[in-house]
Structure 1
Amino acid sequence: MRGRVLGPAGILAACALLGTACGISSPTHSALSADASADTSASSFARLVDIGQGRKMYLECHGSGSPTVILVPGLVAAADTWRNVRGPAGAMKASGSAVYPGVGRFTRVCSYDRPGTAREGGKPTTSTSVSQPTTPRADVADLHTLLTTAKVPGPYVLVGWSAGGPIVRIYAGEYPRDVSGLVLVDAETEFLQSRLTPAQFTTFLALERKDDAKRIAQWKDVERQEPTTVFGQVRAAPPVPDVPVVVLSGDEFDPRAFRARLPAGAPANYPQVFWRAQLASQGDLARKFPGARHVTKTNSDHNIQNNQPQLVIDAVREVVDKARRRQSGTPSAS
């Protein structure tokens, strides 16, 4: 699962892997930094953070309380994906009912822009560009440096949407003492590869290369990843610690939109084959974490945080509450 595709022109919008319609970005959406500056509490900030080696990354935080929730966007998506909801006409708009402000009402919350990402309206991030494609392990290193440099206090509940899923899982494995919970929002998972035959997976890789070519034509520095590398790094990562986990899975799929993205020669039934594998892989992901709650009835495509933000907020609150009870030694109510 990947984030929406946004080039600087803001005219190409589609969701990689699932191929769900994302709609054209709203040209009236204000810049992320302007949105963040509307929150004037002393503990809130939205700024570029110098992470060394001539690089800066955009970070915003607000709210108070522990654990701190870190919202990790999907591929190409910037921090403002967590501030937006999809309106009745399909356009994205900033809203007080979105995930970022909603979580900030009960604990501290932060999000950030990885290099090569873009905001609604197609505006490229101000985070310093890096060589592409990147990898989840490199993204984990960046996130750890960013949080450490900016002095964002742990422990963290990590929320990973789409390609953010492998990032938060690897982070939790590499820094287990810093992580007190996970929420996986239609997260990309290595089980997709094992649910497809080698020939079917080859078609999937060809689809990804076709999508990458469209992104690069818009913006040469756009964020990219290689799926086989992603899945290999997740498999090789240290195990996630025993923490509360909620898995949210999209349950809506547009086979026609997906078929339009397929490479020439793909089997006619490939959208249906892919969707069965996707649903099965989400079940595999949830079963990887004993005691995890798996929400399969989301009434949403891949973009659950925009279509059903309250589901994500409720999942985060559940994990935060469990983490707090563990920290205080209070028995879990579940």
Structure 2
Amino acid sequence: MRTFVTVDGRRIALYRAGEGSPPVVFLPGAGLVGLEYHNVVKEAGELTTAIAYDRGGTGWSDPADLPRSAAAVATELRAALRTAGIAGPYVLAGHSIGAVYARRFAQLFPADVAGLLFVDPGHEDVLRYLPPEVVAMNEQLKPTWENLPDLTEEQLSASRAALLRLYAEWPPEIRAPLVEHRLSNWRTGLVEGRNLEDEVYAELAAGGPLPDVPLIVLTAADPNPLWAQHLPPDLLARAHGGICSLHAAIAASVPRGEQRQIEGASHQYFHVQRPDAVRSALRDIVATLR
């Protein structure tokens, strides 16, 4: 069920299932929105209160100037939850850039965090864990933001078909508007992540350690599909090994941290491909807290 709360004059869309404590809050990856987590919200709602949402400037929330600081995103989320009457402390389940924002939330408001689930998270130390060739390739593949062409009708048609297949198990009343939203707002994720490497990562690096709460880091065992298109097998394996090592270090940064490498999952759609792994991790965190 979608509801709206107002934070600093901006409507923020929330999606809620279930009841109980501690509440689980899903923070979407860049370019994704709350409805794309319908499957895991529904399953988490069988354990406790489960929330997904659209950050300001994304999904069905009101527009906002993008990109934003991680502190602005974290502060907005905290206010939205409080306005909705959802009391903490929370289990924050952040995917990709959502894990970055969850970490900033935990730095700023440690008393409001009961547990953390990072799903294939980003981190400011990522370049130290990657082979130099991959770092160089990433630089070459970065788009020129000001000159991105519109999608052609052929590209739109192919993307629509792929998204409809991806979300085949979503209820029709959710799937259809979700797919059309993704097609008409595909630039949002690119714009939202523009300041990740040069501003947001610096913000987190200076923000201090995570609180001592249960943390599970889920690592996609399948290599990055973009890298797989451009790297020879040996270099691809080394790059993926670097990401696995980085995630192990994130888990080791807190006393109650754990990493789980999940087969059959890749970065962007981890929660669609392996919702059982997300559910299992949340179940374990909630059980520990209870």
Q: 2:73 aligns with which of 131, 134, 139?
A: 139
Question: Are 1:153 and 2:83 an aligned pair?
Answer: no
Q: Which residue of 2 aligns with 1:245?
A: 215
Check the 8 A contact 2:211/2:254 in 1, yes or no: no
Q: Which residue of 1 aligns with 2:54?
A: 113
Distance 2:239 2:140 in 1: 13
Q: Where does 1:189-228 land on structure 2 (aligned, <5 Å)?
A: 189-196=123-130, 200-209=134-143, 214=148, 219=185, 222-223=188-189, 224-225=192-193, 226=195, 227-228=197-198
Distance 1:171 1:215 in 2: 35
How far is the alpha carbon of 1:254 from its aligned partner? 5.5
Distance 1:301 1:290 in 2: 27
What CA deviation, in whole Å up to 9, does each residue of 1:6-32 have, x standing for no partner? xxxxxxxxxxxxxxxxxxxxxxxxxxx
Letter in 1 for 2:3: R
The 1:310–1:197 alpha-carbon spacing in structure 2 relative to 1, beyond 3 Å, is closer
Check the 8 A contact 2:213/2:256 in 1, yes or no: no
Q: SS at 1:188's partner residue?
A: coil
The 1:310–1:130 alpha-carbon spacing in structure 2 relative to 1, beyond 3 Å, is same
The 1:271–1:138 alpha-carbon spacing in structure 2 relative to 1, beyond 3 Å, is farther
How many residues align? The count is 253
Distance 1:235 1:274 in 2: 22
The 1:215–1:185 alpha-carbon spacing in structure 2 relative to 1, beyond 3 Å, is farther
Question: Are 1:315 and 2:281 an aligned pair?
Answer: yes
Check the 8 A contact 1:131/1:221 in 2, yes or no: no
Distance 1:253 1:211 in 2: 26
How far is the alpha carbon of 1:315 from its aligned partner? 0.5
Distance 1:55 1:215 in 2: 30
* Runs (5+) with no aligned partner, structure 1: 1-35, 37-45, 84-97, 118-124, 325-334
Letter in 1 for 2:55: R
The 1:166–1:268 alpha-carbon spacing in structure 2 relative to 1, beyond 3 Å, is same
What CA deviation, in whole Å up to 9, does each residue of 1:218-274 have, x standing for no partner? 65971422223222122111321111111110001255x4365x6xxx999864553
The 1:135–1:298 alpha-carbon spacing in structure 2 relative to 1, beyond 3 Å, is farther
Q: Which residue of 1 aligns with 2:248?
A: 283
**What is the RMSD computed on CA atoms of the aligned residues?**
2.7
The alignment's TM-score, normalised by the length of structure 1, stands at 0.68
Q: 1:258 aligns with which of 204, 227, 233?
A: 227
Quote the sequence identity (%): 26
Letter in 2 for 1:309: P
The alignment's TM-score, normalised by the length of structure 2, stands at 0.77
Check the 8 A contact 2:131/2:238 in 1, yes or no: no
Q: Which residue of 2 aligns with 1:50?
A: 6
Q: Which residue of 1 aligns with 2:158?
A: none
The 1:313–1:215 alpha-carbon spacing in structure 2 relative to 1, beyond 3 Å, is farther
How far is the alpha carbon of 1:167 from its aligned partner? 0.8
Check the 8 A contact 1:186/1:248 in 2, yes or no: yes
Q: SS at 1:57's partner residue?
A: strand
Check the 8 A contact 1:172/1:240 in 2, yes or no: yes
Structure ranking higher in helix proportion: 2
How far is the alpha carbon of 1:322 from its aligned partner? 1.2
Letter in 2 for 1:113: D
Q: SS at 1:110's partner residue?
A: strand
The 1:307–1:155 alpha-carbon spacing in structure 2 relative to 1, beyond 3 Å, is same
